[in-house]
Amino acid sequence: MRQIILDTETTGLNARTGDRIIEIGCVELVNRRLTGNNLHFYMNPERDSDPGALAVHGLTTEFLSDKPKFAEVADQILDFVTGADIIIHNAPFDIGFLDAELALLGKPSFKEHCGEVIDTLVQAKQIFPGKRNSLDALCDRFGISNAHRTLHGALLDSELLAEVYLAMTRGQESLVIDMLGEHAAPGEAAAPRVRLESIELPVIAASDDELSAHNALLDDLDKAVKGTAVWRTQPAPAEEKTADAQNA
């Protein structure tokens, strides 16, 4: 599974009134692991940034004057994201700017080049309703250091968002499901199916030290979410669920 964490910096807030992309940063995840295969460009927008935007990103017109225009790097960006799922914080903003830039070049919309677009802001609002869910707030909530983030930067923000996304979606994964989901490559013989009911799996109880370490980790998660971690939530007994269904 290939995913790209993406962020942009722009000259202002409205692509429809002529604001342009001035920086793009893409961080690659493969099977939820950072690969180090990232993509980063500064771009000459051929216009000044609004004062408010300049105060956020600090990228001056002079600094950007010798950088490539979006048209010169568009194909490299599209080649990098093609087929991958895209992860963005507040996706409509970045997608809107990317679509505007691509429209100027007569190219299809951004979503036609990639897989699913995942909005971490939407995810965060579902997990932490009523709380601040900016990138800085999420870094603080998950204990991710952003002390070096004095100004917004597309690549730095993508790297921070990658850590936030992995922390926010961390969970147990099933080895059996992963194995059953594998497919033989073209020309290869399919692996023989295993009758799972014929396998006796050993049950290994956690040691006292392991239980202590587990509880310490849950304590840290409680502090991070300022509440009770989902792993401490007890499922309702089966008889209660049956009674609730009958009374519904």
Is 152 within the bounds of a domain?
yes
In a domain, 150, yes or no: yes
* Structural domain harbouring 125: 2-168
Q: Which amino acid is at 3?
A: Q
CATH of the domain at 72: 3.30.420.10
Confidence at residue 173, expressed as pLDDT on a 0 to 100 scale: 43
Computed on alpha carbons and rounded to an integer, the radius of gyration of the chain in Å comes to: 23
- Residue among 51, 59, 48 at smallest CA distance from 8: 59
Residue 177 lies in a domain: no
Q: Is residue 136 in some structural domain?
A: yes
In a domain, 211, yes or no: no
Given a cut of 70, the residues of the chain with pLDDT beneath it are 148-151, 171-201, 230-231, 234-248
| From 113, 152, 183, 214, the catalytic residue | 152
Instruction: Give the per-residue pLDDT at 180.
Output: 41
Which of these, 182, 8, 146, lies nearest to 86 by C-alpha position? 8
Nearest CA-CA partner of 165 in 185, 139, 204, 146: 139
Tell me if residue 152 is catalytic.
Answer: yes
Q: What is the pLDDT of residue 82?
A: 96
Residue 83 resides in a domain: yes
Number of domains in the chain: 1
Residue 147: what pLDDT?
A: 74
pLDDT of residue 234: 64
SS (H, E, C) 139-205: HHHCCCCCCCCCCCCHHHHHHHHHHHHHHHCCCCCCHHHHHHCCCCCCCCCCCCCCCHHHCCCCCCC
> What pLDDT shows up at residue 235?
59
Distance (Å, rounded) from C-alpha 6 to C-alpha 155? Answer: 8
Residue 89: its pLDDT value, please? 96
